[in-house]
Chain A
Amino acid sequence: MIRRPIPRWLVATLSLVGFAILIGLYSWLSIRQTQKNPEQTILPSLSGFQAGFQKILKPQGSETSPKPAMLWSDLGATYLRLFLGMLVGVILSVMVGVAMGAYRYVEALLSPAISFLSKIPPTAMMPVYFVMVGTDQKMFTAMVALGIFFTMAQSVYQAARKDVSDDAINKAYTLGASDGEIILDVMFRQILPRILDNIRLQIGPAMVFLLAAEMLVGGQGMGYRIRMESRILNLSVVYIYLVILGTSGLLMEWALLNFRRKLFPWFGE
């Protein structure tokens, strides 16, 4: 029967089985590849991964001026870029989205232009960013911020328009609210959990733009490292980085979801 409920233990077991199949499949491919060519690094074995870990965890720099290991500097660089870019993008898109939801003339002015710009793939815009903002930290921030801005401004605007009815606004006026109070105490509070959901959903696309940019320019970061290591066919580092990206993505998603549930119990699922 479709959608027949299953016991919890079975759910847990099956999700573990899913991962086991993934690992099993990889091991089988890796062993077969090693049989063909014992020196292969495309599907590295356990010892290959050991070497990979040693490489990325080895402290850099000299004895006198030590620098953090490759993994930490890459992780730090990428997530700092992600954080700064998201921060700027979220603040801008919330301000613009709420203004569009609140004032018809802002809506008329910006809505068509933003729909148009949101249809251009942000990765295709990269050359424009390189030329206009350069290739340093500012570029990555601008890239991520603008990459999520257009889509997110649209969703915030939709939420501000649809989740806050005209009746709710008129009633707030009858309860003595000013325009500013309607924007902050009614609209913003009503759509706050949706903003949080949007942030969660935009991390994925933001990482796509960021990694793509890092593969093209920049001297550190997850994307840069993945590209460099794959060029010398050192896939063990690449796989480790991919697993780290997947795990941190899951963690952020889980954290934001629980944060929202805890903070906005009224919002439901």
Chain B
Amino acid sequence: MYALEIIDLNHYFGSFRVLYNVNLQIAAGQIVAIVGPSGCGKTTLLRAILGTDPPKEGKVLAAGREMRAPDRDVGIVYQNYVLYDFLTAEDNVAFGLTLDGTSLFSRILGLPNFLRKRREHRQRAREFLDRVNLHAAHGRYPSQLSGGMKQRVAIAQAFILQPKVVLLDEPFGALDENTRESLQMMLLQFYKENLQARAEKRPPPYTIIIVTHELNEALYVADRVIGLSRFHTDSDKGATVVYDRPSPVFRPEDPRDFSKFIEQREELRRAVFEPSYVKHHTKYVSFWNEIAAAKVESNGDSQLDMD
């Protein structure tokens, strides 16, 4: 079963067609980057996956279950952080555990089992904050944190619940270069945990979809890049997936060597962002074929082995 599956998704506002026949299968443990020109429907697709604006036609399945409203199976990290002002960094991270694991009733009455669980949730939140390098900021409120720190808290907040998929909507768009690089590194760290889990025959814990306008970021952070655009032969029907290929895999300790994907970057730019380059939308959609081919070649020992 796929962590996320999108089947024949169409969306339109009145007579304006936004998304046309989007089909995607995302396996657990993938880090997928979605790129596309502004106004191409990335946000619309994201909202459909999140369940806040279900598609007019078609389905979004998270681990086989249809998403018609937002719930704990799909997590979200927004560009502008959206932390809860009234909770400390630690309690922000623990918030999901609390909402998910205790009842409103036991919280209001402060029942002993709630108090015990709260200690445990805080402990887990602290451990997660340590992993995103925020050990010093446990007790601070969001207003006392920098942008980069807030985004680390927001990422920890979404990831700690281990939803089927976490959506990152332009997560580093508002951050300076240096902070952005260290946060990209953090995502690679999560990817490394996925690889490790797979090596130990455990299900990989993190499946990530990151929407970005930075092609370098997309190719650097993700192991699969998807381009969404209207520049295809059926452009009047709306934007769809025009690019879907594997992307080079980096580990946190690897050098940030962008020359590794310079050709792919050019291919991606042309296929997704070049209005005059009109092609059939399936021309660059070859992710699963390439995976299958790689599997045959290496006797099923591919790094991108998804089963």
A interface vs B, CB < 8 Å? 165-168, 170-178, 180-181, 184-186, 189-190, 192, 264-268
| CA–CA, A171 and B72, complex, Å | 9
A-facing residues in B59-77 (Cβ within 8 Å): 69-72, 74-76
Contacts known (A165-B82, A170-B76, A266-B143); A175 close to B95, Cβ less than 8 A? yes
| Tally of contact residues, B, Cβ under 8 A | 29
Most central of B75, B76, B84, B158 by chain A CB within 10 Å: B84
CB of B12 closer than 8 Å to a CB of A: no
Q: Which residues of A contact B95 (CB under 8 A)?
A: 172, 175
Sample (5) of A-B pairs whose CB atoms are under 8 Å apart: A170-B52, A171-B78, A173-B70, A174-B70, A175-B161
A-facing residues in B83-116 (Cβ within 8 Å): 84-86, 95-96, 99-100, 104, 107-108
Q: Which residues of B contact A189 (CB under 8 A)?
A: 84, 86
Most central of A167, A171, A172, A267 by chain B CB within 10 Å: A171
Q: Which residues of B contact A168 (CB under 8 A)?
A: 82, 84
Contact B163 A178 (CB under 8 A): no
Contacts known (A174-B163, A175-B95); A266 close to B85, Cβ less than 8 A? yes
**Residue of chain B at shortest CB distance from A184:** B104
Q: Which residues of B contact A166 (CB under 8 A)?
A: 52
Which of these, A174, A178, A185, contacts B76 with CB under 8 Å?
A174
Contacts known (A171-B78, A176-B96); A185 close to B158, Cβ less than 8 A? no
Q: How many A-B residue pairs have CB under 8 A?
A: 68
Starting from the known contacts A165-B82, A170-B70, A176-B161, 4 additional A-B residue pairs (CB-CB under 8 Å) come to: A172-B99, A176-B72, A176-B96, A267-B85
Contact A178 B104 (CB under 8 A): yes
CB of B141 closer than 8 Å to a CB of A: yes
Contact B74 A174 (CB under 8 A): yes
Contacts known (A170-B52, A175-B99); A181 close to B104, Cβ less than 8 A? yes
Q: Which residues of B contact A264 (CB under 8 A)?
A: 86
Q: Which residues of A contact B74 (CB under 8 A)?
A: 174
Contact B85 A175 (CB under 8 A): no
Main secondary structure of the interface of A (DSSP, over half): helix
> When A and B form their complex, which 9 residue pairs have the shortest distance between CB atoms, in order from nearest?
A176-B100, A175-B96, A173-B70, A176-B72, A266-B141, A167-B82, A176-B99, A177-B99, A189-B86
Contact B72 A190 (CB under 8 A): no
Binary contact track B108-136/A, C-beta < 8 Å → 1, others 0? 10000000000000000000000000000
B interface vs A, CB < 8 Å? 50, 52, 69-72, 74-76, 78, 80, 82, 84-86, 95-96, 99-100, 104, 107-108, 141-143, 157-158, 161, 163
Most central of B75, B100, B104 by chain A CB within 10 Å: B104
Q: Which residues of B contact A167 (CB under 8 A)?
A: 78, 80, 82
| CA–CA, A118 and B70, complex, Å | 37
**Residue of chain B at shortest CB distance from A185:** B99
Cβ of B139 to closest chain A Cβ, rounded Å: 11
**Residue of chain B at shortest CB distance from A266:** B141
Q: Which residues of A contact B85 (CB under 8 A)?
A: 190, 266-267
Contact A174 B75 (CB under 8 A): yes
| CA–CA, A190 and B141, complex, Å | 13
| CA–CA, A165 and B78, complex, Å | 12
| CA–CA, A184 and B106, complex, Å | 13
Q: Which residues of B contact A184 (CB under 8 A)?
A: 104, 108
**Residue of chain B at shortest CB distance from A168:** B82
Contacts known (A165-B82, A180-B104, A264-B86); A174 close to B141, Cβ less than 8 A? no
**Residue of chain B at shortest CB distance from A264:** B86
Contact B82 A190 (CB under 8 A): no
